[in-house]
Structure 1
Amino acid sequence: MQALLLSITGRLYDEKQARLIEAIFVATGYPDPRLWCNRIVALAGSAQCPAGSALSAGVASAEAKVYGGQAEYYAARAFAECHRIFQQQGDDALFTHMKAVLKKERVMFGFGRPLTRVEERIGPIEKMAKEMGIKDGPHLTTVKHMEGMLKRYRLILNFAGYATARLLDLGLTAHQVHQFLTVCFYIGMPPCYSEAFENEPGTFLPIACEDILYAGLAERDVPV
């Protein structure tokens, strides 16, 4: 982890910081083939694709504005701007800014989860940071304050937002955060690839289009 941080930032981080970031990786990438990137890797493994092609496709699929690398990049930029406004202009200006963003974008990157309003992955990382004496930095402090202000919109800080704030407090730029978190899902991919590769080819999700019973509208021509 220290080597990865060094290659991206040109700086060597201490062991405690590296351990905390490694824990964030472990909490982010887990070997469940139902997850979008792991499913792609497993499908490639089931088709006996080479590991390089399969794993590269999995990493590429995590480059998405809705849930993946681009979301973290935009969150990093937004957090830096919100921190600047909070420090220079205070609560009211920050809340006004967030309302304007929500009105225009209909989303606040780093906040919200699709199926639950609980983020179970933050607690263990917070506990670990406290045990190692790593305090909240200015960006994470601002982001937690933002979460309190966004409760009226039922938006919680998600794990991607939390990880992004931690990395900003380590001195990474938005572009460096994007590079770093691009590979955070990778840790869960090799097990999915290996399992599918070792099983009988074509047995992962062996469903053809004709196997799906469709009861919707009949096939129709598209107007020209």
Structure 2
Amino acid sequence: MNGPQALVDGADRLVTRMGQAFVGTRAVFRGHDLHAELRHLDWMTLYVLGITGRLYEGAQQRLLHALWVCTSYPDARIWNNRTAALAGSARSTPGLGIAAALAMSEATIYGGHPYVSSIDFFIRARADEEQGGALDSFVEAELAGGRIYGYGRPIACIDERLPWVLGIASELGLDGGPHLRIALEVERLLLARSPRLRMNYAALMSALCADLGFSKTEMHHFQLPVFLAGMPPCFIEGAERTPGTVFPLSCAHIAYEGPAPRRWPTPTHTPQP
């Protein structure tokens, strides 16, 4: 309900199903006592519990860990890590620098957006399949409306992370889900169009998470820290350098298209003091 009554209903109280801190007594997290029941939980399990309300443990937990670990690159040349490195060079604080780098991770083409679009595609493709639809027709219709995220890579068509994650999923017995099967079949269909349209990490991670029951919204939250572990090393190394020496840009590297170099006019008289 909108309007003044909605504000009145929310005044002086917070109605929540997520949890509450009873300061001095206890804390409730998704209906569980955080300290009495959840204190021994793995942090990944707690994080995903907060997102989904479900406990992922054992093999599922190990796979979710691997999805984060295998894309934690401490390379300051990567777009979001560069923000962390520059923040360190500028002597910002870790909180501000890493927060800025995480915000940069929400890029449309090569950041957080492809994970969200990719899992949405797989969920819809699976639903269409269950209604008797053919995957190749679904792919054709999707391409007619734009692109399919999760296939192709700007720098290299081969994604070095995929065989390792697929190997872990196989070891854990989590490589037989319907969404992963669809993801691999879509790759086959797209490769018939172009050899550069190989599956990338967004498609693999999204397919595996869809097989674990993640929704589009849950995927958006889960992928948020996927690059996080690689950021502090870039910040720390940037802070160790002389300020301003992380990726300095010389004038020769600037594509200047303004007026050509010109001489300043010589004064015709000497200014009086």
Q: Same fold (TM over 0.5)?
A: yes
- 2:56 paired residue number: 13
Q: Is the 8 A contact 1:86 1:142 kept in 2?
A: no
Select the structure of larger CA radius of gyration. 2
| Secondary structure, counterpart of 1:182 in structure 2 | coil
CA distance in 1, matches of 2:214, 2:259: 52
Q: In 2, Cα distance between the equivalents of 1:66 and 1:17? A: 28
Matched residue, 2:142: 101
Counterpart check, 1:152 vs 2:192: yes
Q: Is 1:33–1:42's contact at 8 Å kept on the other side of the alignment?
A: yes
Decide which structure has greater helix share: 1
Q: Distance in 2 between matches of 1:121 and 1:216?
A: 39
- SS for the counterpart of 2:153 is coil
Q: Which has the higher contact order (CA 8 A, sep 6+)?
A: 1
Identity, % of aligned positions: 36
Q: Residues 31-70 of structure 1: CA distance to partner in whole angstroms, max 9, x if unpaired?
A: 0000000001100100000111100000000101111112
2:237 counterpart residue number: 195
Partner of 1:170: 212
What is the deviation of 1:116?
A: 2.5
**1:204–1:100 Cα change, 3 Å:** same
Report the Cα offset of residue 214 of structure 1.
Answer: 5.2
User: SS at 2:110's partner residue?
Assistant: coil
Extract unaligned runs of 5+ from structure 1: none
> What are the Cα deviations for residues 125-173 of structure 1, in whole angstroms up to 9, with x where unaligned?
1112222222321111111121112211222111111001111111111
The answer (yes or no) to whether the contact 1:2–1:15 under 8 Å persists in 2 is no
8 Å CA contact 2:166, 2:175 repeated in 1: no
Q: CA deviation at 1:213?
A: 5.1
Q: How does 1:114-153 map to 2 (within 5 A)?
A: 114-153=154-193
Deviation at 1:115, TM superposition (A): 3.0
Report how many residues are paired. Answer: 215
Looking at structure 2, the residues matched to 193 and 73 of structure 1 have their Cα atoms a distance apart, in angstroms, of 27
Query: Which segments of structure 1 move beyond 6 Å, counting only runs of 4 or more?
Result: none
Give TM-score scaled by structure 2 length.
Answer: 0.74
Structure-2 change in CA distance of 1:213 and 1:172 (3 Å): closer
Distance 1:171 1:214, change over 3 A: closer
3-state DSSP of counterpart to 1:89: coil
Q: 1:56 aligns with which of 99, 111, 115?
A: 99
TM-score normalised by structure 1 residue count: 0.89
Say what the alpha-carbon RMSD is for the aligned residues: 1.8
Correspondence 1:22 to 2:62: no
**1:101 to partner: Cα distance:** 2.0
